[in-house]
Structure 1
Amino acid sequence: MFIHSVYFWEREGLTAAERDEWLAGLRSLLGIETVRGGSVGTPAATDRPVIDASYSYALIVSFDDETGHDVYQEHPVHDVFRERCARFWKKVLIYDAVTIDA
């Protein structure tokens, strides 16, 4: 399985309507046909020195394989998300991983 983890830091001064638009855009990505599972979230209330909870939103998406991820990256829904929502964040950080069967 291929896991795509994206962390966004919000640009200052967003309105509630802009946040709603951003969240709708994030949720739209979960409907791309190669997505096998996914969630949109905010930092948990855990407080340990090793935790970075400075981000605003997280998008965690799983695919069968890297090919599914590549389809997602080139998908028109993903393009629309970037075009409409990139103005809402000041920083984005992505971690991609492949699972290791235990």
Structure 2
Amino acid sequence: MSKFVHVVNFWLKKELDATGRAAFVKGVNSLGQIKNLAAFHVGEPAPTDRPVIDRSYDYALVCTFENQEDHDLYQTDPIHDAFRDNCAQYWDKVLIYDSIGIE
């Protein structure tokens, strides 16, 4: 079965101070505690500079799951709910890209 990859890009509020930014980082990193994750990564835009690269976001979250069922469990996990409830105040925009592997 093909892996399921969940990519989330966050654009934080421009007026967000260091305390708010730190709270967001702590919150997004808490998602790594959720069961059923095959891989977990939080990062900032890399210093690559090519015309096709969008570096306008502030943080990226990449979660890999063995299958869509594990992803669906992640979406309803209380840790995920707490992150969304507590940290949505920090961002202006979120874009999500979900994909499954092709064989």
TM-score normalised by structure 2 residue count: 0.95
Structure 1 unaligned spans of 5+:
none
Structure 2 counterpart of 1:6, one-letter code: V
Equivalent in 54, 59, 78 of residue 61 of structure 2: 59
Quote the offset at 1:75 in angstroms.
Answer: 0.5
Distance 1:71 1:21 in 2: 24
Question: What corresponds to 1:39 in structure 2?
Answer: 41
1:87 aligns with 2:79: no
Deviations 1:21-44 (A, max 9, x none): 101111111110011111100001
Identity of paired residues, percent?
Answer: 48
Give the structure-1-normalised TM-score.
0.96
Residue number in structure 2 paired with 1:2: 4
Paired positions, count: 101
4+ residue segments displaced more than 3 Å: none
- For residues 71 and 31 of structure 2, the distance between their equivalents in structure 1, rounded to whole angstroms, comes to 12
Amino acid of the structure 2 residue aligned with 1:10: L
Q: Which runs of 5+ in 2 are unaligned?
A: none
Identify the residue that residue 15 of structure 2 maps to in structure 1: 13
